Amino acid sequence: MGIGGCIILIAVGAIVTFATDWHMKGVNLDLVGVIMMAVGIIGLAAYVSIFKRRRIPPTADGDLPPVTEERYYPSDRRY
């Protein structure tokens, strides 16, 4: 479910909760609408969090310094 699906879920939940006066036996439509809005908001937050992690490159704080090797070869070998 992407951003569009989450926004649609929030909108439909708000319509069911606030703009309708339907009554169904055994089903509280106000609660169903609130649950739909909550799921949409949670899905939107999760999607944005994952999307943000993919787009932002690692910062300099988390990068490791490059490894440099230095070898020492003495020119005068005494055995």
How many separate domains does the chain show?
Answer: 1
From the list 45, 19, 46, the residue with the least C-alpha distance to 33 is: 19
* pLDDT given at position 33: 94
> How confident is the model over 9-14, as a mean pLDDT?
95
Residue with tokens 């708000």: 14
> How confident is the model over 42-51, as a mean pLDDT?
88
Question: For residue 28, is it within any domain?
Answer: yes
pTM here?
A: 0.62
pLDDT category of residue 10 using cuts at 50, 70 and 90: very high
pLDDT category of residue 58 using cuts at 50, 70 and 90: low
Helix (H, G, I), strand (E, B) or coil at 6: helix
Question: For residue 62, is it within any domain?
Answer: no
Q: Which domain holds residue 40?
A: 3-55
Question: For residue 45, is it within any domain?
Answer: yes
Q: How far from 78 is each of 10, 71, 72, CA to CA, in Å?
A: 81, 18, 15
pLDDT surpasses 80 at 49: yes
